């Protein structure tokens, strides 16, 4: 008999869904078996960036043999969006089109060839309107509104001042200001957006399979847009080929497929192309950032001023949260007392931006850490010493009311300093080689739900049945980050069972409790705590059952994995025997929940506080080593040392993988990735022109896991998948400066831009 698979809390545990994925058995939405009669959908997209729709002529498409339905904006007047206050988008454009590529009509046909032919027959008459492709154009005083209810094309404006920034600057030994530009970037996940929707006309019920990080939000939006009770909708999330934030919203893809399925009273499959996946977008917004910092000679930051203008695209989505995060999460990393923030999110005639890994923090952190490095150099201070002069002391609340109970940043800095040989090597490398340093952090789930209700933040059910198996029912979305494995480990650890005894059921709204999904790094912390609660309840039931069988008091019973005993000399009972006793009353189902503390401990309110608090932050410090070829402008990232405070590494294998993935994704934004437009037309909407790093480009990434053991986290755990991304960008830019003496305030640092900067220096320009 094989030994049981240990839960391995704190060890290296292979992901439980790994065998399915590496063997090819895993099925994604586009892989699902299509039965005879399944219709194929295609979209007609606007060739105009901004126009009033006068007519959408679908008559020829409707008459084409094999076409079963054609829908336009006239078929749905309900708007959708992830936030109740930001629902500006229709599944198909109504009245106006606001970006090139916006869906205008959709076809369901017997096969793909017929659907494509029908799309080619659709004609659109419009009155073109002025289009604005940059935030500056959209915010100009004479610009027409892209949405009538958003005058001035301001999606959201945020201002707050905490403390006295003017006085703080007066007390500084050095005050410096910098302007920084970060381009729009896209997630470019491997799996394209897809939906398979089946409408049961007799029951008036929808079954939806979709590529999503948030099945519950799809459930909500399906009910809202199609005006159906949620009980009439079943949402199933198969395996997902990457999310990174793009799939935290309900997308038009799922809604259009559902509208077509209901109109045809059948089954519709919609798989968009790679270009269309880019057009659906929801990536990180282009950002123009001005940062001003006051610094004393002892390295202490006296005050911070930050302006951030984001190009949000044509619709709101997560945008109103993004601009809040950009300001509020200036806090939580260092001990700041005086901060002035002004953020503007502009509506433009480009595809809508949204949440992207490290949501809201990455671009501002690039600006902040880059300027801080520059100022440290001017004052002759070591960059690491400057960060150490501004450390928080937990437990504490920041001045903008963010809670910090565990804080491993000092240990992260120590680790990268030691492993990289920073003190011995920095400034002593050959010409063209350099070291750079930066820090970052991220939330472990927001305390405030996106769609707040009366339910807990997380709910997990654990079921013990007569076959002796333990089933964990969770609505948390496994999207490759290893959450299913962590949930299984948590339950197995509490019950003292091997992982082969525990299996997780997820991704089906008919079977599992509601969960908000995978975003803001909430699953390990919030769902993990709910799983911990459920497992402890089941263990109590088992201990009581063992006490009955052993005819002793429950406090005398020991649980030794799959063996229960009442004393050292007692032969005890097997798990199966204890389970049989507990199951005398039938199948056992326990419900575990987790709810965060109230979002504000002291009632503090400021414009920008609406992001809600978080129970914990992760922390990261990084040293990057680069070499720069001054003849070609090519930057080679030779090595990255990254330390990440994840509270407690429940699974070191997945923690290291998530940290490496964050570093790799940050490297793409720093060196090559950029969404380009020509008069609103996306010009890099494919995997050839949109340049993500490949394995050939990936450096050696050495990960140091720092465990600060958060008092509120499950077994002390915090997030591991996002906090290390933001530090990579400034650390790399600081390393390039160390290598060739030039600072780059705009990304990406492509060879042509580096060569242009070198040439300017040769000609005597700053």
Residue 699 pLDDT grade (very low, low, confident, very high; cuts 50, 70, 90): very high
User: Is 274 a residue whose pLDDT tops 50?
Assistant: yes
Nearest to 623 by CA among 369, 356, 360: 369
Look at residue 138 in the predicted model and tell me its pLDDT.
98
Residue 1 pLDDT grade (very low, low, confident, very high; cuts 50, 70, 90): very low
Mean pLDDT (whole number) for 169-198:
97
Distance of CA 347 to the CA centre of its chain: 22
When mean pLDDT is compared across 161-170, 474-483, 711-720, the lowest value belongs to 474-483
**What element of type H or E holds 155?**
strand 154-162
User: Is 384 a residue whose pLDDT tops 60?
Assistant: yes
Tens-place pLDDT, residues 423-456: 999 999 999 999 999 999 999 998 777 776 668 8
Residue 598 pLDDT grade (very low, low, confident, very high; cuts 50, 70, 90): low
User: Is 561 a residue whose pLDDT tops 90?
Assistant: no
Q: For the chain, give the number of residues.
A: 766
- State whether residue 631 is helix, strand or coil: coil
Mean pLDDT (whole number) for 396-420:
96
Look at residue 2 in the predicted model and tell me its pLDDT.
43
Nearest to 413 by CA among 381, 442, 380, 439: 439
On whether the CB atoms of residues 646 and 706 are closer than 8 A, the answer is yes
Nearest to 595 by CA among 529, 535, 520, 515: 529
- 283: tokens are 């990536």
| Residue the block writes with tokens 């008091």 | 553
User: Is 605 a residue whose pLDDT tops 70?
Assistant: no
Calculate what percentage of the chain has a pLDDT beyond 90: 89
* Adjacent-strand bridge partners of 692: none
Look at residue 454 in the predicted model and tell me its pLDDT.
67
Tens-place pLDDT, residues 488-510: 999 999 999 999 999 999 999 99
Q: Degrees (nearest 5) of the Cα angle 562, 568, 571?
A: 55
Tens-place pLDDT, residues 54-85: 999 999 999 999 999 999 999 999 999 988 88
H helices of 397-482, where? Answer: 409-420, 422-425
On whether the CB atoms of residues 597 and 447 are closer than 8 A, the answer is yes
CA–CA gap between residue 195 and residue 258 (Å, rounded): 9
DSSP state of 248: S
Look at residue 249 in the predicted model and tell me its pLDDT.
93
On whether the CB atoms of residues 624 and 435 are closer than 8 A, the answer is yes
User: Is 177 a residue whose pLDDT tops 90?
Assistant: yes
User: Is 599 a residue whose pLDDT tops 80?
Assistant: no
User: Is 258 a residue whose pLDDT tops 60?
Assistant: yes
Quick one: angle between helices 751-762 and 725-740, nearest 10?
Answer: 30
Mean pLDDT (whole number) for 296-325:
95
Look at residue 4 in the predicted model and tell me its pLDDT.
45
Residue 607 pLDDT grade (very low, low, confident, very high; cuts 50, 70, 90): low
User: Is 91 a residue whose pLDDT tops 70?
Assistant: yes
The average confidence (pLDDT) of the chain is: 94
Calculate what percentage of the chain has a pLDDT beyond 70: 96
Look at residue 317 in the predicted model and tell me its pLDDT.
84
* 446 against 693, higher pLDDT: 693
Phi and psi of 507, rounded to 5°?
80, 15
Q: What residue ranges define each of the domains in the chain, with the CATH number in brackets?
A: 38-129+190-242+247-280 (3.30.365.10), 286-447+602-762 (3.30.365.10), 449-594 (3.30.365.10)
Strand 396-397 versus strand 403-404 pairing type: antiparallel
Mean pLDDT (whole number) for 181-206:
96
Q: State the sign of the Cα–Cα–Cα–Cα dihedral 78, 81, 84, 85.
A: negative
Beta strands in 529-586 (DSSP E): 558-559, 563-565, 573-574
Measured CA distances, 706 to 173, 522, 684 (Å): 34, 19, 39
CA–CA gap between residue 734 and residue 708 (Å, rounded): 28
**What element of type H or E holds 550?**
helix 528-550
* The model's pTM: 0.95
CA–CA gap between residue 684 and residue 637 (Å, rounded): 24
Residue 195 pLDDT grade (very low, low, confident, very high; cuts 50, 70, 90): very high
* 572 against 170, higher pLDDT: 170
Residue 3 pLDDT grade (very low, low, confident, very high; cuts 50, 70, 90): very low
Look at residue 86 in the predicted model and tell me its pLDDT.
86
Tens-place pLDDT, residues 346-380: 999 999 999 999 999 999 999 999 999 999 999 99
User: Is 604 a residue whose pLDDT tops 70?
Assistant: no
CA–CA gap between residue 686 and residue 709 (Å, rounded): 42
When mean pLDDT is compared across 199-208, 414-423, 691-700, the lowest value belongs to 691-700
């Amino acid at each position: 008999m094989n030994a049981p698979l240990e839960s391995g809390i704190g060890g290296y545990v292979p992901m439980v869904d790994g065998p399915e994925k590496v063997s090819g058995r895993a099925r994604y939405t586009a892989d699902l078996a299509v039965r005879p009669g399944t219709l194929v959908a295609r979209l007609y997209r606007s060739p105009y960036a901004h126009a009033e729709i006068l007519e959408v002529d679908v008559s020829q498409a409707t008459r084409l043999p094999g076409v079963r339905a054609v829908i336009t904006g006239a078929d749905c007047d309900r708007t959708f969006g992830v936030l109740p206050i930001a629902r500006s988008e229709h599944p198909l454009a109504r009245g106006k089109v606001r970006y090139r590529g916006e869906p205008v009509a959709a076809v369901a046909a017997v096969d793909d060839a017929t659907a494509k032919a029908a799309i080619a027959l659709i004609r659109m008459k419009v009155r073109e309107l002025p289009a604005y492709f940059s935030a500056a154009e959209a915010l100009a005083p004479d610009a027409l509104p892209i949405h009538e209810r958003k005058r001035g094309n301001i999606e959201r404006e945020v201002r707050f001042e905490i403390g006295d920034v003017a006085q703080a600057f007066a007390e500084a030994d050095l005050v410096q200001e910098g302007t920084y530009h970060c381009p729009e970037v896209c997630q470019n996940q491997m799996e394209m957006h897809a939906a398979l929707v089946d409408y049961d006309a007799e029951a008036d019920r929808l079954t939806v399979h979709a590529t999503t990080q948030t099945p519950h939000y799809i459930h909500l939006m399906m009910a809202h847009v199609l005006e159906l009770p949620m009980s009439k909708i079943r949402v199933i999330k198969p395996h997902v080929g990457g999310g990174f934030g793009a799939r935290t919203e309900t997308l038009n893809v799922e809604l259009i497929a559902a509208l077509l399925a209901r109109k045809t009273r059948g089954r519709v499959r919609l798989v968009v192309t790679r270009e269309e996946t880019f057009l659906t977008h929801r990536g990180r917004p282009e950002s123009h950032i001005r940062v001003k910092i006051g610094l004393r000679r002892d390295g202490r930051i006296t005050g911070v001023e930050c302006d951030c203008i984001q190009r949000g695209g044509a619709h709101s989505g997560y945008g109103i949260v993004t601009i809040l995060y950009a300001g509020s999460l200036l806090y939580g990393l260092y001990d700041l007392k005086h901060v002035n923030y002004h953020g503007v999110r502009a509506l433009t005639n480009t595809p809508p931006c949204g949440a992207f890994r490290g949501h809201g923090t990455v671009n501002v952190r690039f600006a902040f850490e880059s300027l801080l490095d520059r100022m440290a150099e001017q004052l002759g201070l070591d960059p690491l010493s400057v960060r150490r002069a501004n450390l928080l002391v937990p437990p504490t609340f920041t001045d903008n009311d963010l809670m910090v109970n565990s804080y491993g940043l000092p240990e992260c800095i120590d680790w990268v300093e030691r492993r990289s040989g920073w003190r011995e090597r920095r400034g002593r490398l050959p010409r063209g080689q350099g070291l750079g340093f930066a820090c970052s952090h991220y939330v472990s789930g927001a305390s405030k739900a996106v769609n707040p209700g009366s339910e807990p933040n997380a709910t997990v059910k654990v079921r013990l049945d007569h076959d002796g198996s333990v089933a964990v029912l969770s609505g948390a979305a496994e999207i490759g980050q290893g959450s299913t494995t962590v949930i299984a480990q948590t339950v197995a650890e509490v019950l003292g069972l091997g992982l082969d005894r525990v299996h997780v059921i997820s991704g089906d709204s008919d079977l599992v409790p509601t969960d908000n999904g995978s975003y803001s790094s909430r699953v390990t912390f919030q769902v993990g705590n709910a799983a911990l609660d459920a497992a402890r309840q089941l263990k109590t039931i088992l201990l009581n059952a063992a006490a009955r069988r052993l005819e002793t008091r429950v406090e005398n019973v020991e649980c030794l994995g799959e063996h229960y005993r009442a004393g050292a000399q007692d032969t005890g009972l097997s798990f199966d025997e204890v389970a049989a006793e507990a199951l005398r009353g039938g199948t056992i189902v326990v419900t575990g929940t987790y709810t965060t503390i109230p979002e504000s401990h002291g009632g503090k309110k400021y414009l920008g506080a609406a992001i809600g608090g978080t129970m914990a932050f992760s922390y990261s410090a990084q040293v990057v080593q680069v070499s720069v070829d001054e003849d070609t402008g090519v930057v080679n990232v030779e090595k990255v040392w990254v330390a990440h405070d994840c509270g407690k590494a429940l699974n070191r294998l997945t923690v290291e993988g998530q940290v490496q993935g964050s570093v790799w994704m940050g490297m793409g934004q720093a060196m090559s990735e950029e969404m380009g437009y020509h008069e609103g037309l996306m010009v890099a909407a494919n995997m050839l022109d949109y340049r993500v790093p490949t394995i050939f480009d990936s450096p050696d990434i050495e990960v140091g896991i720092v465990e600060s053991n958060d008092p509120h986290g499950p077994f002390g755990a915090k997030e591991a998948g996002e906090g290390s991304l933001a530090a990579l960008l400034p650390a790399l830019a600081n390393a390039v400066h160390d290598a060739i003496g030039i600072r780059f305030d705009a990304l990406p640092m492509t060879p042509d831009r580096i060569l242009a900067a070198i040439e300017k220096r040769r000609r005597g320009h700053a």
